[in-house]
Amino acid sequence: MRPPEEVDRVEWATLSDAMGEAELVPQYLRTVYATYGEPGEASEDALSDLLSCLCCDWRDTKPFPIAVELVPFLAHTALHLPSRREDVLFGLATVAEQTQRPSPLSGPVAAVLREAGAELLPCLADPDVMVRLALLRLLALVGGPVPTAVVDAVRGVRENDDEEEVRATAFGALARLDPDPGRGLAREREALGDPSPSVRLTASLAALRRSGPPYPEDVLAEIASTGAKADEPGHRTHFLGGPGRRRQTIDTLTSDPDAALAVAERWIAGGDLDRRGSSLAESVDHVWRDREAEVVPLLVAAVGQAGKREELYRGIVALGRTAGRLADPGPQVREALMSCTDHADLHVRDAALTSLARFGDERVLSERFALPSSALVPFAGRLDALPQIGAALLHASREVLGNPPEDTGGWPNERSRYLAEQKAVVELVQALAPEPAARLVPELTDLLGHWSVKEAAAQALGGIRMSGNRATAPELIGLLRTLGRATRPDRTGGLRVAAAVAVARLVDRTMPDGVHGLREGGAGARDQALALVGKLVAGEVSHEVRALEQVHRLGAVGLPLLPVLRDRLAANSGKTRLAAAVAYWRISRDPTHPTPVATALVEEALFHVGVTRQSGDIDTALGALELLAEMGEAPEQLRERLDRAVTAPGRFVQPIADRPLGAELDERLRSAGRLLLEE
């Protein structure tokens, strides 16, 4: 702990922080110290700024260098400013959570927090339960070694605090602060007989972690009995520097999928309080492969008894995604969803219709349903669905996209529905096959007037053949050329390239000998469009990746662009390299240059091997893997890792994040990996 007079002994401006305001930290600290006796708006703002320097975003997952110097001053503040003690300890617990991830700073920051926690022991007597919980979470996260006084103080809280949640949290903290196996087992046995459900649940989780899978039946029975009932008090408990008890329970149980599904079944049968049983079943699907057949019946049961609108909506979405991976979802799933298609809430109705459409259930095409665009995506290649698709696109263009609603809070709400429809319109347009798209030229042209879907509309128009409607070709081509030239390059790189690519494709495929009404012949209009594409993707546009992602649609028409694309294969950004590799392959059909680029991206971003530059995210790695499968190229250096990744019973765990990939991304990995391993 450091007092106010030591503020100027630190070179604050040399330290990195979450806000980029380290040089202002002395000013913030002086403002807080000057108002210790009379906290007001200035003090509250300054303290908020100090905490933001440590962590200003949920994506700040590792500690910043400033934490080593700032934590002792904040500890002094927590001790001497009771009115903001909860906020300060909340911030320190968040930093403690950051130290749980591998980082060169994790050890030094944890040591500073450990020292601060020992000096803040008087706060364990604070009348505010949230203050006591925050300090206990801080102590639990940074662990030992700590002075005996710390262990004794936490043991006293465990035995004497009036709040059962505080006693439960103290039990968890003792496991980290006093790791002696003998004393730990004795505490565990004592806690398993505690009258408090929260304490028994915490002890049960400790027993499961100690034993490991397969979990003992008696402890599972205790968790099945108490885990669905033990609520956490206070609105911020689940933010106290780590996962709340519900999340801990789900994560621990999921390590034994058979046990987790058995507990989930009991929780769902008991009413599925706050979707706890559903969440546990979904967690099994998120972490383990090929469990859909066991998870889906549980989700069906949960949907059938969901009460609140939000719970029903989330249950339908989860059921649709999970059952969609089965070869046949079965009649129970279909009927459970069909029963929701007449629900009074539009969000619920749209989710049910979209899930049914994912299974190819043609009942959704009935005239009695006003389908959202998302429910039409699976039918985008069918001519008999054109009336509904055309109506949906016109409705979106004229009634939805131009009228974004305000965010009224809560979720889902009208704003979230608007954003979902906007995204779905893009997916629907992108899914249109050339023949249906050719019959929807008026609707697609109408969409060119809306910023959020212009790019997708231009892509679809570029793929059609207008041989049966040549009279409208010059007008459409002229419109697309204007769109490609007139928009601002600092905002619309993807759109400009999409429009130019569409012009080149339309002219080359539809009217190669010339376009009446344009000064250039067909070849001239096409070559001008290609020149614009080459100029933009060569680096003269800020949205370089979005621009490059359009180029592959050119096919052989884009052969003149290969030199530009070859240069982009060496770009620093992994996403840029992938987009260039995809375009190079689909234009040239030559795997020579794209193969080493895609292989390196898979090694770096998926397996975290040999990272020397910005490799991109996991989606980039999966895109590179899918490109290798498309090319039929199976590099030998990937085979062993791919085989392990594809055949493991659990979903692939990212080495860099130490967490499962998630069901949808993992299925992409398995699908592409299997194709490659068969080569």
- Interval 240-269 mean pLDDT: 85
Q: What does the pLDDT read at residue 239?
A: 38
**Residue 493: per-residue pLDDT:** 64
DSSP, collapsed to helix, strand or coil, labels residue 342 as: coil
Per DSSP, what are the bridge partners of residue 288?
650
What the block records as the tokens of 428 is 């629907």
- Token pair for 298: 């549980």
H or E stretch covering 654: strand 653-654
Taking CA 607 as the corner, what is the angle to CA 601 and CA 610, rounded to the nearest 5 degrees? 65
Phi, psi torsion values for 660, nearest 5 degrees: -60, 155
Cis peptide before 145 (omega within 30 of 0): yes
Backbone torsions φ then ψ of 259, nearest 5 degrees:
-65, -40
Residues 651, 657, 663: CA angle, nearest 5 degrees:
25
Q: Is the model's pLDDT at 83 over the cut of 90?
A: no
Beta carbons of 456 and 430 less than 8 angstroms apart: yes
Is pTM, for the whole model, over 0.85?
no
Q: Of 87-91, 122-126, 629-633, where does mean pLDDT reach its minimum?
A: 87-91
What average pLDDT does this structure show over 275-295? 95
Structure tokens at 515: 């376009």
Q: Among all chains, which residue has been given the structure tokens 């370089």?
A: 544
Which of these, 477, 497, 500, lies nearest to 489 by C-alpha position? 497
Per-residue pLDDT at 517? 45
Tokens of 612: 């020397």
Yes or no: say if 117 and 223 are a contact pair by the CB < 8 Å rule: no
Listed ranges 273-282, 292-301, 438-447; the one with the highest mean pLDDT: 292-301
Least confident interval from 83-97, 253-267, 505-519, 625-639: 505-519
Ranking 211-225, 226-240, 244-258, 262-276 by mean pLDDT, the lowest is 226-240
Report residue 513 as tokens: 């000998």
- Phi and psi, residue 170, nearest 5°: -65, -40
Q: Which of 347, 264, 262 is nearest to 308 (CA)?
A: 347
- The Cα 532–Cα 179 span in angstroms is 66
What is the DSSP secondary-structure string of 452-494? TTHHHHHHHHHT---TT-GGGHHHHHHHHHHHHHHS-TTT-HH
CA angle 56, 60, 64 (to 5 degrees): 90
One-letter amino acid at 592 equals T
Tell me what the mean pLDDT of segment 380-389 comes to: 88
